[in-house]
Structure 1
Amino acid sequence: MRVPLRDVAAVAAGVLAPFAAALVLMPLRTSVTHTNLALLLVVVVVAVSAFGNRFAGALAALSAAAWFDFFHTEPYGSFHIEDRADVETAVLLLAVGLIVSQLAAHARTMRQAAVIDATHLERLHGTTRLARAGTSSTDDVVRRVRHELVAVLELRACRFEYGTLIGRPPRLDPDGTVKVDGWIWDLERQGWPEGETELRAIVLGRYQGRFLLTPEPGSAPPPLEARLVAADLAAQAAAALDEDRVSAGPRP
């Protein structure tokens, strides 16, 4: 499973940013109090945490405490501390850095969740508006849902099949679970199953077709919220197809 590039960069920043900051602050170690230097390093920890994640923030706090000890406490160039006040400052730097990093990472997570929720809501509303506009064909709605599914589930491809069911591929159910041969698949631990996964378009018990989802190889599985949005999008397509079928009436 691939690790997102942002997370890799955040971990690297967690190690290197406090080191670089401590190095840059070296000329000030005799003119600025150690407490103020430690506070400046906390700012670096917060910046890394806001950019990255909790692990990167914790790593930055550990790195900041270590390099504060190495560059700014006597004997310089050593991880040994002689002065008791410097020991307390280093311990406080570590503790405050860990606490603040977790708070910053939590705030970033909440902000991202709010943005994602708003994006999902707009996807659903946009699809609903298209389906109810009366100027778009069912093919347009299906095409729109395919596009949205690729974005929501971060897929490599998505296609739609009309008609009867053929075969028994893995299935994404409306409750967000994935089933393989009737058994619930541990998506979070095992990732996507091999091959395509079907998402059926059903409304009022009437089967309209299915979306066949092709994930990116090695990609992380989408969260439950994204899978539920995907199921709602498929239901929108099913409703449009069913309405079109009813409007057309029985075939002669």
Structure 2
Amino acid sequence: MLRHLDRDRVAVIAALLAPLALAAVLVPVRSHVSNTEVALVLVVAVVAVSALGNRLAGALAALSAALWYDFFFTMPYQTFSITKSADVRTAVLLLLVGLAVSQLAARARRLEVVAITDARYLEQLHEAAAIAQRRDSAGLVDHVARQLVDLLQLRGCRFEHGKLTGHPPRLEQDGSVVTGSRTLDVGQHGMPEEEIELRAFGNGRYYGRFMMSPTPGTKPSLQARLVAVTLADQVGSALDTAQTPTRE
């Protein structure tokens, strides 16, 4: 998370400075290149900033590119006024194209994050399945408890075997969090402060539950919560297999 914040901060700074620097470099040759060519070069700066940062950085870069195009390359120079209608159209198009590019780049970045996250979820399920295949149910319980801490950003997680006491909030099979008869909006309000139970069933039989201590304010995605439910199901199946006599 911190790495992405640093990256976004750098991108915002680049959004403000990169178009200005590129425009300043082009000023000495503005009599030899058309304004359209200058606008295309400035779009490159917008693309670079958008690829590095988020929508805000891309939008700032687009606005910065349009302003410095106006300032350096339209008559009268070194002012933010435009006298030619062709230059007005070019400046407006530069801004609109820059904004469109920033949106596309931000979407591509988001899809990249989703793909990386999906791969991590798949890896976690594979790790748990590999331990289950070794019939190491105790090891699987400990491993899944650690996975849940990472997956749901928990403060801690423990497993209680074969008992149900109290009525704590519960992570359901559909990924929702229920307390009493009320379903919590995790995406809006985050996880509750008290412990949450995640029950483990094998072949329809209850074997225990993970008692999870959420970190206040965290909002794990529905996808992450569904992966957590799947991991608990793997534990339930492993515990059921461990208690099933092997036939010769």
CA-CA distance at 1:102 after TM superposition: 1.5
RMSD over aligned CA atoms reads: 2.4
The percent identity for this pair of structures is 50
Aligned mates of 1:50, 1:241 — CA distance in 2 = 47
2:128 paired residue number: 127
1:23 paired residue number: 20
Q: Decide which moves more: 142-151 or 79-88.
A: 79-88
1:168 paired to 2:167: yes
> Scaled by the length of structure 2, what TM-score is found?
0.85
CA-CA distance at 1:191 after TM superposition: 0.9
Letter aligned with residue 227 of structure 1 = R
Structure 1: tracts of 5 or more residues without a match: none
1:103 paired residue number: 104
Query: Tell me, what secondary structure is at the counterpart of 1:175?
Result: coil
2:8 paired residue number: 10
Structure 2: tracts of 5 or more residues without a match: none
Query: Tell me, what secondary structure is at the counterpart of 2:197?
Result: strand
Letter aligned with residue 22 of structure 1 = P
CA-CA distance at 1:145 after TM superposition: 0.7
Query: How has the CA–CA distance of structure 1 residues 182 and 235 changed in structure 2, closer, same or farther, with 3 Å as cutoff?
Result: same
> Where does 1:167-206 land on structure 2 (aligned, <5 Å)?
167-206=166-205
Cα pair 1:162 1:210 within 8 Å, conserved: yes
CA-CA distance at 1:133 after TM superposition: 1.7
Aligned mates of 1:193, 1:222 — CA distance in 2 = 12
Cα pair 1:11 1:59 within 8 Å, conserved: no
Query: Tell me, what secondary structure is at the counterpart of 1:169?
Result: coil
Query: Which one of 232, 235, 240 corresponds to residue 233 of structure 2?
Result: 235
CA-CA distance at 1:50 after TM superposition: 2.1
Query: Tell me, what secondary structure is at the counterpart of 2:165?
Result: coil
2:68 paired residue number: 67
Any idea what the Cα deviations from partners look like across 1:177-231, whole Å, max 9, x if unmatched? Answer: 1112221101111111122222111223322111122233333x12211111110
1:148 paired to 2:141: no
2:242 paired residue number: 244
Query: Tell me, what secondary structure is at the counterpart of 1:158?
Result: strand
Query: Tell me, what secondary structure is at the counterpart of 2:166?
Result: coil
Q: Decide which moves more: 180-189 or 32-41.
A: 32-41
> Where does 1:203-222 land on structure 2 (aligned, <5 Å)?
203-219=202-218, 221-222=219-220
Aligned length: 242
Query: How has the CA–CA distance of structure 1 residues 86 and 237 changed in structure 2, closer, same or farther, with 3 Å as cutoff?
Result: same
Cα pair 2:199 2:206 within 8 Å, conserved: yes
2:84 paired residue number: 83
Aligned mates of 1:79, 1:97 — CA distance in 2 = 19
Aligned mates of 2:38, 2:5 — CA distance in 1 = 27
Query: Tell me, what secondary structure is at the counterpart of 2:29?
Result: coil
Cα pair 2:71 2:78 within 8 Å, conserved: yes
Query: Tell me, what secondary structure is at the counterpart of 1:36?
Result: helix
Query: How has the CA–CA distance of structure 1 residues 222 and 44 changed in structure 2, closer, same or farther, with 3 Å as cutoff?
Result: farther
Query: How has the CA–CA distance of structure 1 residues 68 and 183 changed in structure 2, closer, same or farther, with 3 Å as cutoff?
Result: same
CA-CA distance at 1:149 after TM superposition: 1.5
CA-CA distance at 1:77 after TM superposition: 4.3
Aligned mates of 1:200, 1:191 — CA distance in 2 = 20
Aligned mates of 1:80, 1:53 — CA distance in 2 = 30
Query: How has the CA–CA distance of structure 1 residues 159 and 70 changed in structure 2, closer, same or farther, with 3 Å as cutoff?
Result: farther
Aligned mates of 2:154, 2:37 — CA distance in 1 = 48
Query: How has the CA–CA distance of structure 1 residues 177 and 90 changed in structure 2, closer, same or farther, with 3 Å as cutoff?
Result: same
> Scaled by the length of structure 1, what TM-score is found?
0.84
Letter aligned with residue 81 of structure 2 = H
